[in-house]
Structure 1
């Protein structure tokens, strides 16, 4: 049990009133901990009204200044602030959290690097400019006119420059620092580049691999391993523009360099996705609509062609008639978003943004394994490559400014350079051994199981030779009788010799079907084969499994057992399958009835799906629970092998296709970070290799990075072959990885969104649980959810994150059935509804307040998230990044995609968090001359490659970046304070390999040797190390030169749409736990608003509602909005022509409804009248 006592301080330092508060605090905290053993703190902790410990006075002053209240609080009266706190306490009390134990620890104080400005917003704007320049200026000044292409391309090794009116000249690399660039490879032959083109404002460029420039094109022995040089990247800033440019970057020579690069690879695909991309739910609909449009265009082309063949004398009104009409009707049926976005390929993007139709057929030549194909079509392929460059340049000119308008904060642009520069060191020997070991182990295990299966099959088929045993055993065996034992007779010639070419004559049909053809020597069967459950004699709930065509795998039960299984929510198979089973088993009684009923083996996705494979991952836990059984040891071995090899089966092709570049192939290029230690000291220097992941830095509409191997890599698991993949990434000697995971990043952001409504950390139930909830106390979010659902805490996490990302009751019900397939639909639905009523709350629909949630632990949060999603131009709360055009409210019609928009609000804010971290680190690394560079970021995880001598300084830089980032999130949401327990990373990892935790051994079936552990430091341990202090800043790194532009916080802008009275009642309604209380508050608001409208400032009641309606109809006045301070002004005093005023961004509520429910307004009892 924790304890707490504030250190006694001499009373002469405090006034009497201060001492009363001081001792009251001591009493409250000691009572909370129920302990008599005191803990003395050097500084009095700062604790808010709901028990959350804030930063120390020193850190608070350094981050937020010495202001007593935030800007939001300053706009409130003392009474209003007190009312907010009381409402917060009421909500916490409703959910059993008020007064619960909170963790109080020694306040942490140390000196942070000085903020670069008078606020965190100014600080980060300047850091964003620092990370962006000079690249942003280079991008804005990029040439928009493309010079003519050369008429003839030169096939010479290396770069050739084509400047107008000059002869082509050989150059080592493009001379200009801003180019548009594209690389092509013979991708089936090698990942190394074959040719490339680039264009600048002055010249075109072509690059040819020596591999295709050999005079003897039939010579296949020449070296294909060549990379494209682009010039020194450590001193000269360069801007390289490309579409999916991460692919091209991986083929650039200078990027294989541990020194931080000054080249910015700017991706047009990312810029398009962030501004006009499609979310995952929209893509299938878009593809379907694209196909329909293509069919209509083909139809129109056919009609036009037929019209051209008509005689000139024939009278026709043309034909645009039919197809154009069809297209117009189609457009009317479509959601508008279909017309404001497209897919991500260059051809799609170029057509959408620039109207360029690209011919992609020449790409097929690069699929050849013969270089002579490329040589023979060299001119065509160079032109094809240059066409890509041309299109990319034109696309860039469109999407860059769209992006800067959509995401105007400099941090959003500046972070892209770091996120486009991932680098993963490994060793060639270890990498090759890993792939070889994993593949051999997987194949050997698979082969062993399959051989044993074949042995058992060969043993079983011997029954054919014993007809007596066959007739006695098979009919009584519930598995064997499902096999077709029909024997194919041996056909004989007239001479009594077997006819040649027969396929296994004399064998049963089930056995013959296992052979692909008559020449096959062994049965073709794997653990995925349909008949395997029969050979393994699998049973479900102690009943043999039965295969049916219509219902998949089933199991028979006697009629007497049916009610028992029905109570477990098993589903009856289709009638035809049941009838066929009864016939096959002769289980039909004389009266035509049967006692046998077939039940479906449950599918993880619910009763609408059939189980078609029992030896798969979703059914492993049923083996463990004894629901799925087999007397065969072979079945258990097969299942374990299938489980063990599942990761390798899924990832092996992606892993084997990684582009691993070895130092021995490019010995001069692998330069070390600036350090006293040299890479040459690395014991296995000749084996050093580098992987440059092909990352799309903004690959989703939420601007998350996308990459198909490293950003989705599994953590090492003891029973998964190849799952040690991450550990293959090893720091060279003298270097290490320094990194951290952002603790509950998106959950904290979501809870902060809710807490911002009360202007207090921990003010909502979800906010309090996120900050202070513990497993032991049962007060953390995941434990509470697990208690409601009756599931494990890990399973509860899936429900919680799914809900916060916008998933509804249906998702929760499906997930429940996946974890427990025997759960009935109604039971799953009821449990899911119970969860959502406890968390999201119940819904209230009102013409005044529209639809909103109330009474749940997350109601405040979801009302806020939905209000963000429903904005005309939704923005992230901190950096103000706008939602992609395809999800903007004005472009959504029949489908609102609300879950996708809520998901966008949270995940895109998580991306803002990462971008702020990256820009902070870019600044601190430069300011304090730290030898480090970003190696990879995986959503909420970030890792830097640092020299050993600077590892603790880099760790401290990460902690400082984190507190800065958390602080600006709080500031922009209106809370000028930060809880201490989330201000810093819970720990920073210092390790020599990449892995989730530094103390993981990472042993797997393919890696038996434990990996030595790394180092793990929290902020207290880090501060205790003198070498962690950031000292001797570089005075040449000066961000004061960058401008600062004040911007109104996003939430402040949104909140201006509502009046104070509206907010007061709306917030009260959300914290209520019963509907009648909500209804009562709504009525009170209506009466108060009505009364105020008639009596405020002496307005005359003679000008009443009917007068108002008359003037609206006569267009003498404009229709007023319920959220205005006075919606029925005394117009008899001053009736003016309509003035066009700015419309508020809130909902447009019906005026008349504000009085329709009132019975206290004299003659104004006008029910069910609508003002249109």
Structure 2
């Protein structure tokens, strides 16, 4: 209907009056009031006509349970008939099969010609260009003449991206191409590759449109070194990748890949492998390590390298000596010439191995993917072409220079912050002991100067941490300052005075980066190591009208701690009072704002432990070295909240841990603590940390051990509780942008500006920092003027010299089917995000520019996966839109808030674009854990517990809940049960998808494509995570 509406808007006023009555017919609506296509068009496309439908009250009522009003029809344009070209068959299904067969037929013929290879020659001629080896003779030729070839190239990595040798094989003979550069004097390494450096595959005078098919392993690497592929006009050359064929037939998921690697290399201590084995053995009731290696999918699959794939399909060790590869990776032209025969034989063996793999794989591939469209799709995905011009070179130069400038500026500002810290704290008063960031740096100084010179005296006055930032020898460089400092160093977050949600960052030698959570009370109370006695405490506090009995001891404002290091233990002074100045502001927001009070009042499963916990927090606050007015305010808040807790209503239960051990959790989670009914069950509340059986979020500090605080680690995108090496690394850019990771305000305005500027620059440089190597490694070739199309030649501006105008192309090195879902994989162009003004280099896609006379046409099937999934789900009901998912996909309106993405966004309070990502992730199999991970990335201030609640709420509303229903009677007459989804908007969809996945031979409905052998029900059986 979208196409019809577009045509209607285009034809509205300009179509002839005679045409309009024929085009537009009365709208037809189905059982749930979704408008259908024109009846005559239905007959043309599907060889079937249904004149009308009756509204299904049962279906509409079912949809209303999910907030969908299917009784109400949308405005409904008149149905439109389009005069389609004649179909190649009785219906649209046969039409596309006919097109696919017609397009792929020439290449099927090319492949059929690759039935057998002759023996390779034993001696190779060292002459430039192509040499043919057939029937015992070797002659120079322009190019291989056959339509089907197995092909491999080799490159001198240290010198250039250009090929140095190439070997091809056909049924008639073998071919060797030797680069003319081997016969020229050596040159300096360069990224520049010209057309003359590449390998021709069409002889002069041969039509470039004649079909040829090149078979190779990761063949896009070889394609990028073929002359004709850079020409503006398309050729008949296509490339078939045996790596892609293997991934389609026997590919692995990312988890399977890691387990397979661990199993092959006997890395049984690998954490992922150990966890997998433990879960698998628990399920099977076994403890045998060898059970894993006997898994069907491990025997049916392999990694993607040529050697591993050869072992899998050919069932023998490869005849290849991979040690020779080091010459191509690290050697020179001289090394290639010296080892020429060995290296060409090495390349020829790669070709023969590729052919042997292909012979085994091709039959498997055509059986598992019978539709010609799957095959032709692989060929087309392997023919990507990105036109570029001089802007591509200029873009790289600009981005590199801007990145270098940012790094220089960042380094200069860090040096300034280090110098300011030295000036502020290098006196005899040890003021650094009162700084929440700098207190644990090594402020020790040499006992005496190296000499009596003024330079030696000054160097001896510098603390050790500062001296370590000066290049050696220090006496020659100390005047330059701390030039070694970088943002990657452990000292950088301290100089920047970084905070996480208002709390100063702390580095624990064992636990790495996180924050300190005050509230631990050192035992015994009154120990002079931690407490000071103050007879006036009670009197002073009662003057503030506190009706709470105050203790006579108070924790010292500065706590002596021990830091263990390789050089020996050091005594340090932790500035507890100064740290509390940041904590008290944050704790009021977390525990005593309106939201937190409402959360406590409406807490899940109230228990007397709640009041006991607040009492413990009050007692811990009473002994903190806080100002009396701050303490009065906090304790008054405790009293106001705890008065709403009635202890006598509930029975007490025994806790796994003492109640005060939960104070850290309460402070970290805030209001969400009260929403978790398992908040006191350390085995069920998803905590991580100190002891495996307790699994806590907050843990005791370890090195240095601070008796008054717990440690809360910074979030790690690799998993909750994993240590964070640097808070300035790429994953934290989103937290900097959101303000969750920020610099503390200081009295020095200049310091704040410098720190804030460094954080902004880190965000700006993040894209180029991640992608620059990938960008610089792109192989691009500019075409000589004589090979440019006439429209381009006529546009050349001679006045643009000396830089000139250049036109050429990049051939992305794509794995056409790089995942088990047959999605293309490429490290740069298929992963780069959209341009953002504040991200240096993110405009990379805009550097792909069509030459004069050409244009780039974009095409995208909107919501493709959703349409397919909804169609599969609706098929179980019998009509389009019969399921909530199908109805929202077909009829949902963004403006009315009834489309799938808006509904998801409103359900859990996120942005619509974020909801879109979650909806697609669910289709691809993500569960609660991955949904939590995505929510944490979307909303940097969301806490893990809140992410869990939202993820579970979303899963319950969409997929629903699992129930067991009778399936069938087995051979013994007993009823077997199966698990299905029920009660969610997507229950029908996932039941239908899982029915396909769990069938004995899962195939996609239209193309009949099978899933990888490593994921078939027979292979995975009940293996954890793959069913």
TM-score (norm 1): 0.63
Q: Which of 354, 357, 365 matches 1:403? A: 365
In structure 1, the residue matched to 2:34 is: 52
In structure 2, the residue matched to 1:276 is: 250
In structure 2, the residue matched to 1:96 is: 67
Q: Deviations over 1:19-56 (max 9, x none)?
A: xxxxxxxxxxxxxxxxxxxxx99532222221212223
Q: Tell me which moved more, 547-556 or 277-286.
A: 547-556
In structure 2, the residue matched to 1:649 is: 769
Using the alignment, how far apart are the partners of 2:179 and 2:378 within structure 1? Answer: 30
Distance change (3 Å), C-alpha of 1:720 and 1:112:
same
Q: Which of 512, 531, 546 matches 2:491? A: 531
Q: Deviations over 1:689-715 (max 9, x none)?
A: 111111221121111112111122221
Using the alignment, how far apart are the partners of 1:609 and 1:878 within structure 2? Answer: 44
Q: Which of 814, 821, 845 matches 2:964? A: 845
In structure 2, the residue matched to 1:574 is: 699
Name the SS of the counterpart of 2:460 in structure 1. Answer: coil
User: What's the offset of the Cα at 1:284?
Assistant: 0.3
Contact 2:669 2:943 in 1 (8 A): no
Using the alignment, how far apart are the partners of 1:759 and 1:279 within structure 2? Answer: 33
Distance change (3 Å), C-alpha of 1:862 and 1:611:
same
In structure 2, the residue matched to 1:663 is: 783
Distance change (3 Å), C-alpha of 1:681 and 1:820:
closer
In structure 1, the residue matched to 2:1012 is: 884
User: What's the offset of the Cα at 1:566?
Assistant: 4.9
In structure 2, the residue matched to 1:712 is: 831
1:381 and 2:343 equivalent? yes
Name the SS of the counterpart of 2:858 in structure 1. Answer: strand
1:794 and 2:907 equivalent? no
Q: Deviations over 1:438-476 (max 9, x none)?
A: 111111012102101102212322356642xx43x3233
Name the SS of the counterpart of 1:179 in structure 2. Answer: strand
Contact 2:68 2:884 in 1 (8 A): yes
Using the alignment, how far apart are the partners of 1:159 and 1:492 within structure 2? Answer: 70
Contact 1:605 1:818 in 2 (8 A): no
Using the alignment, how far apart are the partners of 1:161 and 1:706 within structure 2? Answer: 35
User: What's the offset of the Cα at 1:290?
Assistant: 0.7
Using the alignment, how far apart are the partners of 2:892 and 2:302 within structure 1? Answer: 44
In structure 2, the residue matched to 1:292 is: 266
Using the alignment, how far apart are the partners of 1:195 and 1:268 within structure 2? Answer: 21
Name the SS of the counterpart of 1:402 in structure 2. Answer: helix
Name the SS of the counterpart of 1:758 in structure 2. Answer: coil
Q: Which of 221, 225, 228 matches 1:254? A: 228
In structure 2, the residue matched to 1:609 is: 722
**Alignment of structure 1 residues 218-229 onto 2, 5 Å:** 226-229=197-200
User: What's the offset of the Cα at 1:602?
Assistant: 4.7
Using the alignment, how far apart are the partners of 1:623 and 1:142 within structure 2? Answer: 56
User: What's the offset of the Cα at 1:688?
Assistant: 0.6
User: What's the offset of the Cα at 1:88?
Assistant: 2.7
TM-score (norm 2): 0.72
Using the alignment, how far apart are the partners of 1:762 and 1:879 within structure 2? Answer: 23
In structure 2, the residue matched to 1:140 is: 112
**Alignment of structure 1 residues 1107-1146 onto 2, 5 Å:** none
In structure 2, the residue matched to 1:630 is: 744
Using the alignment, how far apart are the partners of 2:500 and 2:371 within structure 1? Answer: 59
Contact 2:498 2:741 in 1 (8 A): no
Contact 1:491 1:499 in 2 (8 A): no
In structure 2, the residue matched to 1:689 is: 808
Name the SS of the counterpart of 1:133 in structure 2. Answer: helix
**Alignment of structure 1 residues 342-381 onto 2, 5 Å:** 342-354=302-314, 355-357=316-318, 358-368=320-330, 370-381=332-343
Name the SS of the counterpart of 1:581 in structure 2. Answer: coil
Using the alignment, how far apart are the partners of 2:417 and 2:358 within structure 1? Answer: 63
Distance change (3 Å), C-alpha of 1:334 and 1:636:
farther
1:781 and 2:753 equivalent? no
Using the alignment, how far apart are the partners of 2:179 and 2:836 within structure 1? Answer: 42
Using the alignment, how far apart are the partners of 1:532 and 1:329 within structure 2? Answer: 45
User: What's the offset of the Cα at 1:218?
Assistant: 9.2
Using the alignment, how far apart are the partners of 2:1017 and 2:32 within structure 1? Answer: 37
In structure 2, the residue matched to 1:509 is: 464
Name the SS of the counterpart of 1:118 in structure 2. Answer: coil
1:157 and 2:128 equivalent? yes
User: What's the offset of the Cα at 1:606?
Assistant: 6.2
Distance change (3 Å), C-alpha of 1:255 and 1:233:
farther
User: What's the offset of the Cα at 1:539?
Assistant: 3.0
Q: Which of 439, 444, 448 matches 2:405? A: 444
Using the alignment, how far apart are the partners of 2:852 and 2:232 within structure 1? Answer: 13
Using the alignment, how far apart are the partners of 2:781 and 2:958 within structure 1? Answer: 51
Name the SS of the counterpart of 2:876 in structure 1. Answer: helix
Using the alignment, how far apart are the partners of 1:503 and 1:124 within structure 2? Answer: 82
Q: Which of 209, 216, 220 matches 1:235? A: 209
Q: Which of 924, 931, 945 matches 1:805? A: 924
1:770 and 2:889 equivalent? yes
Contact 1:869 1:898 in 2 (8 A): no
Name the SS of the counterpart of 1:240 in structure 2. Answer: strand
1:63 and 2:45 equivalent? yes
Using the alignment, how far apart are the partners of 2:172 and 2:85 within structure 1? Answer: 44
Distance change (3 Å), C-alpha of 1:892 and 1:223:
closer
Name the SS of the counterpart of 2:726 in structure 1. Answer: coil
1:458 and 2:419 equivalent? yes
Name the SS of the counterpart of 1:580 in structure 2. Answer: coil
User: What's the offset of the Cα at 1:825?
Assistant: 5.4
Distance change (3 Å), C-alpha of 1:173 and 1:886:
same
1:127 and 2:99 equivalent? yes
Distance change (3 Å), C-alpha of 1:870 and 1:824:
same
In structure 2, the residue matched to 1:1048 is: none
Using the alignment, how far apart are the partners of 1:523 and 1:603 within structure 2? Answer: 30
**Alignment of structure 1 residues 1150-1165 onto 2, 5 Å:** none
Using the alignment, how far apart are the partners of 2:726 and 2:289 within structure 1? Answer: 45
Using the alignment, how far apart are the partners of 1:503 and 1:637 within structure 2? Answer: 31
Using the alignment, how far apart are the partners of 1:272 and 1:572 within structure 2? Answer: 43
Using the alignment, how far apart are the partners of 2:59 and 2:515 within structure 1? Answer: 53
Using the alignment, how far apart are the partners of 2:207 and 2:217 within structure 1? Answer: 20
Q: Which of 334, 345, 348 matches 2:294? A: 334
In structure 2, the residue matched to 1:111 is: 83
Name the SS of the counterpart of 1:648 in structure 2. Answer: helix
In structure 2, the residue matched to 1:1082 is: none
Name the SS of the counterpart of 1:645 in structure 2. Answer: helix
User: What's the Cα RMSD here?
Assistant: 3.2
Using the alignment, how far apart are the partners of 1:332 and 1:545 within structure 2? Answer: 43
Gaps spanning 5+ residues in structure 1: where?
A: 1-39, 70-77, 296-327, 583-593, 900-1172
Name the SS of the counterpart of 1:149 in structure 2. Answer: coil
User: What's the offset of the Cα at 1:751?
Assistant: 1.3
User: What's the offset of the Cα at 1:137?
Assistant: 2.1
Distance change (3 Å), C-alpha of 1:572 and 1:229:
closer
Using the alignment, how far apart are the partners of 2:786 and 2:340 within structure 1? Answer: 31
Using the alignment, how far apart are the partners of 2:230 and 2:938 within structure 1? Answer: 46
Using the alignment, how far apart are the partners of 1:866 and 1:256 within structure 2? Answer: 44
Using the alignment, how far apart are the partners of 1:678 and 1:747 within structure 2? Answer: 42
User: What's the offset of the Cα at 1:564?
Assistant: 5.7
**Alignment of structure 1 residues 840-989 onto 2, 5 Å:** 840-848=959-967, 849-895=977-1023, 897-898=1025-1026
Q: Deviations over 1:64-109 (max 9, x none)?
A: 235339xxxxxxxx9xx97x94543232111121235635234333
Name the SS of the counterpart of 1:161 in structure 2. Answer: strand
Name the SS of the counterpart of 1:730 in structure 2. Answer: coil
User: What's the offset of the Cα at 1:219?
Assistant: 10
Contact 1:606 1:817 in 2 (8 A): no
Q: Deviations over 1:945-985 (max 9, x none)?
A: xxxxxxxxxxxxxxxxxxxxxxxxxxxxxxxxxxxxxxxxx
Gaps spanning 5+ residues in structure 2: where?
A: 1-21, 270-287, 518-582, 585-619, 622-633, 635-662, 674-695, 746-751, 968-976
Contact 1:41 1:106 in 2 (8 A): no
Q: Tell me which moved more, 543-552 or 564-573.
A: 564-573
Q: Tell me which moved more, 526-535 or 185-194.
A: 526-535
In structure 2, the residue matched to 1:393 is: 355
Contact 1:554 1:573 in 2 (8 A): no
Name the SS of the counterpart of 1:478 in structure 2. Answer: coil
